[in-house]
């Protein structure tokens, strides 16, 4: 297929993306043409606009933004889930173009003045509350894009943004390349003693795919986690732990994928960016668009949670060390022993293991239960689209979210299994958002929901651990926030315009239903017999929910404080990333990793994702989600009236109002931290 515009599928008016038609050489021409079209239409719009209204200014801007979203999001998605050298090169070639366009738009003085004029006329034009919120956000966005800076500083702002975009992509690519560069063939079954049947089958499948004998260990998370949790061979656990925790560092692959210099430059440029915009630190700049007000407030919040959690975390670790010494003959508990010993202790205390539960969570049964719970809570129906559709990989599945009258509300894709050339982790991304267009037609949302679970092996369906079930619910919560919106303006539809430290509220909220008796009954069914999870196993699973919860809490606080302290430093302070991490660990951690651990080199959330100076958002939003769920506990877990209230106050409203106002509307008061501590089993 040629890359000419006439035959470029990215430039056609498609409903769903034409994934199997997109060739890497078509990507840059499509993005270039889209950006040129947007720029020329905005310039034409501004040159002939005297009497500013919403319809002649904001609606055209949102329409152009929507066109760019729909052309770029399939490219971004394919880069994450079907990465290849040609696709990566095409993707990377577009990043400076997008960054330049974004800077041009954000620093467009004429556009800024027109939007200010529209804001000043808001009462005269009878703009609604949502339109005023959008204009307020837009004006703030211009200020944060350096619209008022002198020309030389504007130029430097643009250079920094372009370089940061390039570096973030490089950071993520280094992790992917380093992950794929390491593997270990094992031909002696004794070395794999302790691994459950499901893990052995996965490793054998890995080997067969490369025409190798025996089993093949790689660093994709399902494989890594199985070895760390179950391999009795301590030397093997240490070897795999070392490989995983030194990825993308100077210690592996001759340093060719080393992220250390990338991280240094990212931090340096973020500091310079904050300084350009007259903020004392990057964390201050980050908070300009979040619920939290000041860096001091965030740090105090995290330190308070740490003070409440660390004593219990120390007790949990001491219990684990005693158990490891007494029962497993591990005298000194090392980091590569933690998951293995913890799984054995959990089995002893609660007589339940991941592997015992896994047969009860075949993926299609879990999906059926997830959809049933969604229907009960939010009065919608979900059906799979079985007609052939355009997909990027055979694993991709497509579903439709419908009203009970059968009207389509939204659609979403699932891509659930780990594989080569696919980014690790789990996430929700949007292809397009709800948007009432200029001709009155309503564009309905479409979401990408991506996970990295164990794939089906042989004749067995994919069997999930309960933790993976929770992950699935988490990402689907994000999806519902995107898909159930009733906002017609693109800028605040779905998750758009929602403060970043509130965006995890729906996802963490939905996780709670994985631990409810009525929820588990719908989610589970043995893959052979179809029998639901037996009462005794369900009770043990629920009892084990808060096993080592304080250790998990301080681990998350370690990540959050590391991120926030790192981004709170002023431009004159030397950048020593490892030193910041060590200082935070000394303050809150109970497990101190070896000096050669390079966790920070693969901490994508803050160096390549949207969580820089914002990782605290997980805990901040967890306060909101736990408190929101406590209303369901008080008034009925599956109470349709409360489900409807949550849907109307939170899921349908997107970013149309500040998150605190929406939460207070649902809960009747501001959030309280006690439900989070109670749900986590941490003494108040």
The residues annotated with a catalytic role in the active site are: 475
Pairing of strands 397-403, 380-384: antiparallel
Residue with tokens 């302790």: 194
By the 8 A CB rule, do 485 and 455 touch? no
By the 8 A CB rule, do 223 and 202 touch? yes
By the 8 A CB rule, do 564 and 615 touch? yes
Report the distance separating Cα 301 and Cα 559, nearest Å.
14
Residue with tokens 């004029």: 117
By the 8 A CB rule, do 17 and 90 touch? no
Beta partners for residue 382, in sequence order? 401
Both tokens of 184, joined, read 């270990």
Beta partners for residue 449, in sequence order? 414, 428
513 burial via Cβ count (<10 Å: 0-12, 13-18, 19+): buried
The single-letter DSSP state of residue 184 is E
Pairing of strands 446-453, 427-432: antiparallel
Report the distance separating Cα 582 and Cα 317, nearest Å.
19
User: For helices 659-667 and 617-635, what crossing angle results, to 10°?
Assistant: 20
Closest CA to 86 of 431, 451, 425, 421: 421
Please provide the DSSP assignment of 633-674 as one string. HHH-TT-HHHHHHHIIIIITTTTSS-HHHHHHHHHSS---SH
Report the distance separating Cα 237 and Cα 621, nearest Å.
34
The torsion angles phi and psi of 251, rounded to 5 degrees, stand at: -90, -10
Residue with tokens 């910041």: 580
By the 8 A CB rule, do 97 and 75 touch? no
Report the distance separating Cα 248 and Cα 14, nearest Å.
38
Report the distance separating Cα 266 and Cα 164, nearest Å.
6
Both tokens of 121, joined, read 């006329």
């Amino acid at each position: 297929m040629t890359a000419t515009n006439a035959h470029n599928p990215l430039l056609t008016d498609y409903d769903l993306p034409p994934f199997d038609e997109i060739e890497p050489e078509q990507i840059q021409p499509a993005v270039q043409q889209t950006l040129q079209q947007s720029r020329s239409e905005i310039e034409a719009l501004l040159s002939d606009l005297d009497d500013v209204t919403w319809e002649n200014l904001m609606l055209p801007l949102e329409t152009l933004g929507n066109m760019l979203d729909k052309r770029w999001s399939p490219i971004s998605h394919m880069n994450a889930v079907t990465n290849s050298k040609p696709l990566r090169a095409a993707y990377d070639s577009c990043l400076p173009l997008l960054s330049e366009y974004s800077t041009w738009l954000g620093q467009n003085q004429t556009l800024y003045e027109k939007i200010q004029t529209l804001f000043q006329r808001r009462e005269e034009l009878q703009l609604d509350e949502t339109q005023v919120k959008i204009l307020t956000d837009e004006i703030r966005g211009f200020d944060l894009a350096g619209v008022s800076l002198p020309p030389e500083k504007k130029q430097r702002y643009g250079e920094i943004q372009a370089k940061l975009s390039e570096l973030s992509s490089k950071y993520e690519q280094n992790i992917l390349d380093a992950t794929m560069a390491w593997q270990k063939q094992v031909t002696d079954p004794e070395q794999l003693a302790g691994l459950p049947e499901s893990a052995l089958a996965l490793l054998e499948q890995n080997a067969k795919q490369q025409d190798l004998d025996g089993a093949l260990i790689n660093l994709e998370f399902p494989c890594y986690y199985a070895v760390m949790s179950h391999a009795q061979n301590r030397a093997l656990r240490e070897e795999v732990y070392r490989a995983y925790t030194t990825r993308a560092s100077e210690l592996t692959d001759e340093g060719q994928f080393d992220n250390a210099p990338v991280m240094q430059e990212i931090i340096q440029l973020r500091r310079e960016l904050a300084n350009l915009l007259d903020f004392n630190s990057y964390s201050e700049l980050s908070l300009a668009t979040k619920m939290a007000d000041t860096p001091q407030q965030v740090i105090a919040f995290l330190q308070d949670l740490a003070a409440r959690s660390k004593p219990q975390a120390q007790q949990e670790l001491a219990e684990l060390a005693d158990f490891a010494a007494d029962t497993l003959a591990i005298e000194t508990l090392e980091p590569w022993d933690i998951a293995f010993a913890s799984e054995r202790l959990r089995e002893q205390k609660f007589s339940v293991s991941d592997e015992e539960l896994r047969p009860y969570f075949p993926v299609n049964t879990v999906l059926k239960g997830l959809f049933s719970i969604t229907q009960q809570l939010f009065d919608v129906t979900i059906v799979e689209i079985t007609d052939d559709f355009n997909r990027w990989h055979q694993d991709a599945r497509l579903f439709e979210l419908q009203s009970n009258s059968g009207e389509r509300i939204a659609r979403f894709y699932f891509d659930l299994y780990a594989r080569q050339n696919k980014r690790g982790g789990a996430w929700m991304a949007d292809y397009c958002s709800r948007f009432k267009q200029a001709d009155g037609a309503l564009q309905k949302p479409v979401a990408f929901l991506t996970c990295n679970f164990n794939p089906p092996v042989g004749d067995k369906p994919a069997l999930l651990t309960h933790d993976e079930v929770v992950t699935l619910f988490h990402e689907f919560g994000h999806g519902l926030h995107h898909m159930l919106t009733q906002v017609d303006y693109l800028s605040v539809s779905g998750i758009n315009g929602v403060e970043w430290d509130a965006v995890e509220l729906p996802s963490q909220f939905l996780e709670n239903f994985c631990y409810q008796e009525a929820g588990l009954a719908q989610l589970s069914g043995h893959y052979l017999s179809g029998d639901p999870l037996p009462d005794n196993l369900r009770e043990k699973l629920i009892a084990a929910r808060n096993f080592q919860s304080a250790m998990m809490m301080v681990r998350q606080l370690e990540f959050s404080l590391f991120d926030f302290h790192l981004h709170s430093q002023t431009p004159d302070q030397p950048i020593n990333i490892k030193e910041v991490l060590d200082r935070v660990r000394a303050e809150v951690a109970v497990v101190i990793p070896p000096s050669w651990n390079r966790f920070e080199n693969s901490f994508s959330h803050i160096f390549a994702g949207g969580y820089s100076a914002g990782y605290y958002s997980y805990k901040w939003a967890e306060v909101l989600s736990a408190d929101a769920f406590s209303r369901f506990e008080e008034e009925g877990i599956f109470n349709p009236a409360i489900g409807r209230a949550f849907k109307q106050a939170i899921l349908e409203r997107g970013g149309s109002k500040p998150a605190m106002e929406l939460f207070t509307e649902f809960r009747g008061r501001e959030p309280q931290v006690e439900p989070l501590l109670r749900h986590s089993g941490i003494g108040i």
